Structure 1
Amino acid sequence: MANLLLTSNGITSPELANTLVKFISHDPSRTSIAVITNGKADLKSRGAKYHWHYQHLHHYGFTNVHSFNIASSSVESLYDFDAILLAGGDCKLLLSELQGNGADIIIKSYAKNSDKIIVGESAGAIVYGPDLALVDFIESDIADDSSQLTLGLGLYDFYVLPHAHRYQERPSKFNKNLKLFEKQKKRSVFRLEDGEGMIVNL
C-alpha cells in the first residue's frame, strides 16, 4: 500500500524532502509528481499554488513535477505518476471537485493498490481524513456535534490542524472547545506547523 504524508504547507523543509525521498524507489529527478490544484479556482490562483509547490520541490531535486487540473484532465492518468500531491485551498470545494469526477475513487485506489506516496498540503491533507467536522469547528469555534457531516476520503481516522500557529492567538476558549471537540468525536487532533508533516502507513 501507499504511504501518506500529511503536511501543513507542502514539501518546504529538508526533513520533509528527505521523507519523500525515503519512500520513492528512484532518483528524485526521475520521480514524477502530480500536483493537483483546484480546477474551479481562477487561473491566476491555480498557477500561483502550483508555482509554490514547483519551486520547493525543484529546490530539493524533484524536477519532474506536473500541474494536474482534475477538472480538465483524465483522472485515470494519476496512476502514471510516482507521487500525488493534493494542494490546499477551500476544503469543501476541493472535496466536492474530487468527488464530482471520480478523482476520490482513483486516489483511494492509488493508496490501496500501489507502493507509491500521497502528499496532502493543508486542505489537501484534511480531505484525506474521515470528514470535515474540524473545518466546521474552526469556522464556528463551537464544538457542535449536531452539524451535518461531510465525509472525507477516509484514508486515516483522526484529524489534522495545519498552520497550527494561526490559532494560538485565538481566545483561550478555542483550545477548551478543541478538547471538547476531540471528546465528542472520539478522535485526536494533531497540530501541524508550517514545515512539519507526519507519515501515515496505509
Structure 2
Amino acid sequence: MIDLKATLENLGFENIILFDVFKDDSNLLKTAKAIILNGGYEFILFDSLRQTGSVALLKKLILNGKPVYGISAGAIVLGPDLDLFTQLYPEDNFNNDSDTASIDATSIRIYPHYDKHSQDNPQLESSIKAFESSTNSNVTRLRNDEGIVIRDGAAKLLG
C-alpha cells in the first residue's frame, strides 16, 4: 500500500489519504485527490465503513470521478455486494450481516488473490462457477500480479 501511494504521488496526485476506517474522520475523504481502501476482511471493512457513515460518501465521491483504489478486500467492497464471499466464506461474516449490499460503485465482482487461493483450495473454481451460475453473474478472478481499472463501467485488466 505504501508503494502504491508513492507511485500515485510520482504521478502527481497530492493529499492521498490511506483511509483507516477505525480512526480517520470520513470528512477527510472529501479533500483527497485519490483514496486507497486497504485489504483485510471484507466484512469487517464494510461494517466499519457502514458504522462510520462512509459508504454513501464514498459512493458519491466515486460517482463524481474521484479515483478510488481498492486493495484486496478494498476492491471487493467497491463491488455490488458481498454475496460471493458470504457463500464461500460464511465464517468471515463475523457480525452475521444479513444485508450483504456493498458500496456498489461498480457491478463488477472481484475475487483477488485467485492464484494463491485456488492453489490452497482446489474446489475454489467450481465454487465460484456455481455462484456465477446460480446468480447469473460473472466474477473477475485476479492473480496477485494483476489489477483492474474500472472507468465508466468498463474494465481493463492490468498485469
| TM-score grouping bracket, smaller chain normalisation | 0.7 to 0.9
Which entry has the higher C-alpha Rg, 1 or 2?
A: 1
Matched letter for residue 153 of structure 1: I
Counterpart selection for 1:83 from 19, 34, 59:
34
| Alignment CA distance shift 1:56-1:82 (3 Å) | closer
After TM superposition, give the deviation of residue 159 of structure 1 in Å.
1.4
- The match for 1:190 is 140
After TM superposition, give the deviation of residue 91 of structure 1 in Å.
0.7
Counterpart selection for 2:20 from 66, 69, 73:
69
- The match for 1:124 is 74
Counterpart selection for 2:119 from 157, 169, 178:
169
After TM superposition, give the deviation of residue 56 of structure 1 in Å.
4.3
- The match for 2:58 is 107
After TM superposition, give the deviation of residue 186 of structure 1 in Å.
1.3
Counterpart selection for 1:178 from 125, 128, 147:
128
Give, in whole Å, the separation in 2 of the partners of 1:59 and 1:77. Answer: 21
- The match for 2:6 is 58
Matched letter for residue 110 of structure 2: V
Please, what TM-score do these two structures have when normalized by structure 1? Answer: 0.62
After TM superposition, give the deviation of residue 68 of structure 1 in Å.
3.0
Give, in whole Å, the separation in 2 of the partners of 1:83 and 1:59. Answer: 12
| Alignment CA distance shift 1:82-1:187 (3 Å) | same
- The match for 2:157 is none
- The match for 1:200 is 150
Per mean C-alpha deviation after superposition, the further-off stretch among 91-100 and 175-184 is 175-184
Contact 2:34 2:67 (8 Å CA) reproduced: yes
Matched letter for residue 57 of structure 1: K
Please, what TM-score do these two structures have when normalized by structure 2? Answer: 0.77
Query: Which has the higher relative contact order, 1 or 2, with Cα contacts under 8 A spaced 6 or more apart?
Result: 1
Give, in whole Å, the separation in 1 of the partners of 2:98 and 2:45. Answer: 18
Per mean C-alpha deviation after superposition, the further-off stretch among 69-78 and 149-158 is 69-78
- The match for 1:33 is none
Give, in whole Å, the separation in 2 of the partners of 1:70 and 1:172. Answer: 34
After TM superposition, give the deviation of residue 66 of structure 1 in Å.
4.0
After TM superposition, give the deviation of residue 127 of structure 1 in Å.
0.7
- Encode CA deviations 1:147-199: one digit per residue, 9 max, x unaligned: 94511111112311100112332555432222111011111011111131112
What does 1:1-16 align with in structure 2 at a 5 Å threshold?
Answer: none
Contact 1:158 1:187 (8 Å CA) reproduced: no
CA RMSD of aligned residues (A): 2.3
